[in-house]
Amino acid sequence: MNPSRPSSRFHPFPARVRTLLGLACVASALPLVLTHSAQEAKLPAPVRIETGVSGHIHPALCVTAKGTLVAVFCKSEFKPYLLTRSTDGGRTWAKPTLFPPTIQTSVYPGSLTTLADGRLVHAWNVWFPLGAKDKSRHVAFSISGDDGLTWSAPTNLSKNADPKIHSVIRHPLVELSPTAWLLPLADRTVLYDPTTGAETVFADGTSHGLVPIVRTAAGTLVSGQGRRSTDGGKTWQEIKPFPDVATQGWRHEMIALRNGWLLTSQIIGPGVGGNRIEFVLSRDDGITWDHDHPVPFYDPSRPIGGRACPRTVELDAQTLGTIFYDTDEKQAGGSGVFFRTMPVGNLKR
C-alpha cells in the first residue's frame, strides 16, 4: 500500500453516520411536502352548528348579498327540517329553528340559491304517498326577500307524469335570467319561469340527472355529468378525466368561483362515509381537472359517520365556507352538523 495514498476504505465518519448525513443533505434539498392530515390541520377547527343528528341530514348553504350565511338541514330522517343563520362569517350560528313551510311535511333536503337581486330561493323535496305502502317525491320552493328571516308560501313544481319516478333537487339552480331558472332535477333538466310557473325544455333537451350544473365566470355551463357547453347548452363536449360527481350526485358538489376556477368535492375511503373530504380543482374553465393535487378539507383520522354531503360557498374573495355533517357518536360532542372555513389561497397549486 502506498502510504501517501489513503485507503479507499478509510473515512473520518463511520458508515452509519455517513448514511445519515447523506439523507439529511437530500432532505434539505427537497421541498417540504405536508401530509394530507398536516395540511388539513392548518385549517380553523370546524364550528358545531347542531348536535344529535341522524338520517338524511344533507345540509344546504348560501351566502346572501349582505354576507349572511343561511343553512338548512334535517336533524333526523324526514323531519324536523331546520334553518339557521350566521351574521359573522360562520363563527357563531343562531339556534336552528323549524323551517315553517315544512312543519307538517316529510322532507328530503334540497338546495339554497342566492339570486342576482338578493332574494334567496330555498328548494326542498316533499315526500307524498303512493297507495298504501309506496311513496315518491316532488320539489317545492319558497323565496325570502329579507336575508332569510321570513319565507313565502311554498310553490310546488310539477310531479313527474309517472308519480313513481321521483322528482328531486339537491343543487342550487342556475339563474340564467329573472324569468329563466335552470333546474337540475333528478327526473328532468328544465327551464322554469318563476313569474308564470311555466316549464320549458332546456336547450338540447338533455336530462343531466341529479348532478350540479354551474355557469362559470366566462359563461360556460359545466355539468356534473362531465360535460361543458360554451353555447348555452345547445351542444356539449365531454370532459375526460372528470371528478366522479355523478355516481352519487345527491352527495357531491360543484361550484364556480369568482376567479374562474371550479371546485368539486370528493370523499376518499371505504364504507358509507369514507375517511376524508377533499376538493378537486379546475383552473381553466372546466377543461382540465387537477386530480393529482386534491386539496384537503376534512380528515378526522377515522371513518366519517354518514355521507357528509359538503356544500361550499364563497364568503368573499379570500375565504370559502363549507357545511357538512358527521354522525360519529364517538367524536367529541357526538354527531353533528359543522361549518368550516378555508382560505382560497389553499386552492393554489
Cell of 75: 336533524
Least-confidence region, from 53-57, 71-75, 297-301: 53-57
The residue type at 155: T
* Average of per-residue pLDDT across 1-20: 44
Q: Answer whether 0.85 is exceeded by the pTM.
A: yes
* Average of per-residue pLDDT across 3-11: 41
User: Residue 19 and residue 110: Cα distance in Å, rounded?
Assistant: 59
- Is residue 26 domain-resident? no
Quick one: pLDDT at residue 188? 97
Percentage with pLDDT > 70 across the chain = 88
Quick one: pLDDT at residue 232? 96
SS3 assignment, position 181: strand
- Is residue 178 domain-resident? yes
Tens digits of per-residue pLDDT, 64-112?
A: 999 999 999 999 988 899 999 999 999 999 999 999 999 989 999 999 9
Quick one: pLDDT at residue 271? 83
Tens digits of per-residue pLDDT, 222-272?
A: 999 999 999 999 999 999 999 999 999 999 999 999 999 999 999 999 888
- Is residue 17 domain-resident? no
Quick one: pLDDT at residue 198? 97
Give the torsion sign (CA, 77, 83, 89, 92): negative
Nearest to 297 by CA among 327, 317, 274: 274
Quick one: pLDDT at residue 19? 46
- Is residue 334 domain-resident? yes
Quick one: pLDDT at residue 78? 87
Quick one: pLDDT at residue 28? 42
Non-local CB neighbours of 114 within 8 Å, separated by 6+ positions: 62, 63, 64, 65, 120
| CATH code, 82 | 2.120.10.10
Quick one: pLDDT at residue 140? 98
pLDDT at 8 over 70: no
- Is residue 18 domain-resident? no
* Residue 14: pLDDT band with limits 50, 70, 90: low
Burial class, 193, CB count within 10 angstroms (exposed 0-12 / middle 13-18 / buried 19+): middle
Domain count, the chain: 1
User: Residue 40 and residue 29: Cα distance in Å, rounded?
Assistant: 25
- Using CA atoms in the order 235, 239, 243, 244, what is the torsion angle rounded to 10 degrees? 60
Q: What is the DSSP letter of 344?
A: G
CA distances from 74 to 56, 71, 80, 251, 307 (A): 7, 11, 6, 14, 13
**Which of 4-13, 23-32, 185-194 tops mean pLDDT?**
185-194
The Cβ of residue 29 has, within 10 Å, a number of other Cβ atoms equal to 7
Tens digits of per-residue pLDDT, 116-155?
A: 999 999 999 999 999 888 999 999 999 999 999 999 999 9
- Is residue 13 domain-resident? no
- Is residue 10 domain-resident? no
User: Residue 290 and residue 130: Cα distance in Å, rounded?
Assistant: 45
pLDDT at 22 over 60: no
Cell of 268: 376518499
- Is residue 23 domain-resident? no
Cell of 201: 325544455
Can you give the residue range of the structural domain that contains 76?
A: 37-347
* Average of per-residue pLDDT across 305-327: 97
The torsion region of residue 148 among left (phi > 0), alpha (psi -120 to 50) and beta comes to left
